Amino acid sequence: MDKHITANFKVIIIDESHFLKNVKTARCKSAMPLLKSAKRVILLSGTPAMSRPAELYTQIAAVRPNFFPRFHDFGLRYCDAKQMPWGWDYSGSCNLGELKLLLEESIMVRRLKSEVLSQLPSKQRKMVVIAPEGINAKTKAALAAAAKEMAQGFKSKVQEKEALLLFYNRTAEAKIRCVIEYIMDLLESGREKFLVFAHHKLILDNVCDELGKKNVGFIRIDGNTTSADRQSLCQKFQFSDKISVAVLSITAANMGLTLSSADLVVFAELFWNPGVLIQAEDRVHRIGQTNSVNIHYLVAKGTADDYLWPMIQEKIRILGQAGLSEANFSETTESADYVYKDPKQQTIYDLFQRSFSQDEATDDLDESLLLEACEEVDSEGLCESASKKRKIDDYF
């Protein structure tokens, strides 16, 4: 970027400003000098922080750089910063009421969807408890091994995160059959249009294969779909009666798409970042929607979902206390009538009693980055150098 143009802007407007959350990214490194040189800065975002207060710092620094000249000061005040053997951990939260007041009185103009889109129908979340039945012996054994490893405890957070990621992968394999059966039940019941979100390519592929075999019209949008194709696929879904299902990647299709011809969203998998889930829900809950929107989260007993769901709830609670989210996953209703629910099993809420502690519940995961980072971890679960450890925990 030409450094000579940085002084020419009197006003800079940044849309989706939450993408500036990581100061180490190329996007943030390019944007911050421009923002600092501008006389006025306006940041726009429906989700300023996706999961924790630390993500707000760069945006606050862009608007009011004199508030917290150093990130460490912000971390001590609002991120419950703790000094660890490898450095400082800023993944927590504290003084959220004060942070909310600071944002609302000095930095942020917040408009709730209920205020600016008062005619938009309601959104209802439902948790559908499924049992991973019909899986082969190999998958069943792998899932059981991953569950046992999670239950045994760990020497470090890095080991725990790595184990949860493996458990998450095994969970995808175990849920495939139940997910497909649930989708087919919706179609057989007369449901005309709905979205299916998943994270793993394995689930996306299997769902698409089954829809193809049943001659069900569908579109698919994932990380390999070009921008031009995305728009044409959205138009096809919106206006064609022959297209019933949109099969979507949680991370690649959670924003920038309008699919309001549907009023049901099915999450075949959970995801660590509640901001991403809420954005994905809003592909149908937006201008143009005339029906009440239903969100179905498929969660399975004895899988990584037992850990992920309470983690999501905790992150939403933290963001709500800071005035950054109006969502409330704790009020999600539980389905009692789905065919795959085992009547003898405990409720999912009982299973959550063994979920992560509050501090651990603020962690984020990303599959590719975690796998890369974990290659630098030694047998004790600690990085070979403090800089490598910081690389991992800066992300989490």
Instruction: Decide if pLDDT at 364 tops 60.
Output: no
Residue 342 is predicted with a pLDDT of 36
Give the DSSP per-residue string, 231-252: HHHHHHHHH-TT--EEEEETTT
Task: For 116-143, write each residue's pLDDT tens digit.
Answer: 666 778 888 999 998 876 677 788 888 8
The answer for residues whose C-beta is within 8 angstroms of residue 175's C-beta and 6 or more apart is 130, 132, 203, 268, 269, 298, 300, 303
What distance in Å separates the CA atoms of residue 31 and residue 81, rounded to the nearest whole number? Answer: 26
Per residue in 305-340, pLDDT (tens digit) is: 988 888 888 888 888 888 777 666 655 666 544 433
Separation CA 354–CA 338 (nearest Å): 25
Radius of gyration of the chain (CA): 22
As a whole number of angstroms, the distance between CA 306 and CA 351 comes to 6
pLDDT band at 290 (very low <50, low <70, confident <90, very high): confident
Cα within 13 Å of Cα(226), Cβ side = 3
Q: Rounded to an integer, what distance in angstroms lies between the CA atom of residue 92 and that of residue 361?
A: 9
pLDDT above 50 (res 351): no
Q: What is the pLDDT of residues 147-171, one digit of tens each?
A: 888 877 776 777 788 888 889 999 9
Distance (Å) of CA 280 to CA 9, 111, 117: 34, 19, 18
Taking alpha carbons only, the member of 11, 8, 64, 19 closest to residue 42 is: 11
Rounded Cα gap, residues 100 and 321, in angstroms: 7
Q: Which two tokens mark 266?
A: 């099915």
Q: Which amino acid is at 97?
A: G
Burial class (CB in 10 A: 0-12, 13-18, 19+), 395: middle
For the chain, domains (ranges, CATH) are 3-110 (no CATH), 114-365 (3.40.50.300), 366-396 (no CATH)
pTM for the whole thing? 0.70
pLDDT of residue 288: 82
Q: Is residue 91 over pLDDT 90?
A: no
Phi and psi at 375, nearest 5°, equal -65, -20
Binned at pLDDT 50, 70 and 90, residue 266 comes out as very high
- The whole-number pLDDT of residue 358 equals 33
pLDDT at 113 (0 to 100):
66
User: Is 189 a residue whose pLDDT tops 90?
Assistant: yes
pLDDT at 184 over 70: yes
